[in-house]
Amino acid sequence: MSAANSDTTANSIEQGKSGARAARIPTNVVLALCIWSVVVACLSGLAALHFAQRQFDNDLAMRPPIVVVDSFGWIKGAGTGPTVEARYLDGARRLNATVAKLHARGALVIDSSAVRAAPDAVRLATPTHTTREQDGGELPQ
Q: How much is the pLDDT for 45?
A: 95
Between 17 and 95, whose confidence is greater? 95
Q: What is the pTM of this model?
A: 0.48
Distance CA 74, CA 38 (A): 57
Residue 9 confidence (pLDDT): 53
How many other CB atoms are found less than 10 A from the CB of residue 95? 24
The Cα 70–Cα 133 span in angstroms is 20
Each domain of the chain, given as residue ranges in start order, spans: 23-62, 66-135
Between 69 and 77, where is the model more confident? 69
Got the DSSP string for 1-34? --HHHHHHHHHHHHTT--SSPPP---HHHHHHHH
Q: What's the mean pLDDT in 35-50?
A: 95
